[in-house]
Amino acid sequence: MAAARKRAYELPIEQIDVSNIELFRDDTVWPYFERLRKEDPVHYCANSKYGPFWSITRYKDIMNVDTNHRAFSSEDGITIQIRSGGLPTPGFIAMDPPRHDEQRKTVSPIVSPGNLANLEQTI
């Protein structure tokens, strides 16, 4: 991990790309997130295999993004991935209100703590 930390702090910050799958495969991503939280908590990665993206690495900032649907939409997706052909089937986690709220209301009873306790043996 010391070598990963050294690389994370030697790399010019604008070159940090936390979408690099090797960082996760090798479990060496943590120093990169640590540095981003300290130095660039709202980090723009202009060049990645998946195209440009933003990394939000501090809890308060994540919560601000997650709760401000007018400024930050989930409509175009919430994951970093290579997009292929057609449009993906939208999951409710990647929907904005009011559609998200309607879908959540539908599934909430099945995932309530009481119902999950009833399903514990099955799960």
Which whole-number Å values give the CA distances from 96 to 74, 83, 93, 99, in the listed order? 6, 20, 8, 6
Which whole-number Å values give the CA distances from 116 to 93, 102, 105, 112, in the listed order? 19, 21, 16, 6
Condensed to tens digits (0 to 9), the pLDDT of residues 1-42 reads 899 999 999 999 999 999 999 999 999 999 999 999 999 999
Q: How far apart, in whole angstroms, are the C-alpha atoms of residue 119 and residue 99? A: 27
Q: pTM, whole model, 2 decimals? A: 0.70
Q: Domain for residue 87, yes or no?
A: no
Q: Domain for residue 16, yes or no?
A: yes
Q: Domain for residue 103, yes or no?
A: no
Q: Domain for residue 101, yes or no?
A: no
Q: Domain for residue 102, yes or no?
A: no
Q: Domain for residue 115, yes or no?
A: no
Provide the domain limits for residue 57. Answer: 2-67
Q: Domain for residue 41, yes or no?
A: yes
Q: How far does Cα 70 stand from its chain's mean position?
A: 18
Asked if residues 88 and 77 have their Cβ atoms less than 8 Å apart, the reply is yes
Please count the structural domains in the chain. Answer: 1
Condensed to tens digits (0 to 9), the pLDDT of residues 31-69 reads 999 999 999 999 999 999 988 999 999 999 999 998 898
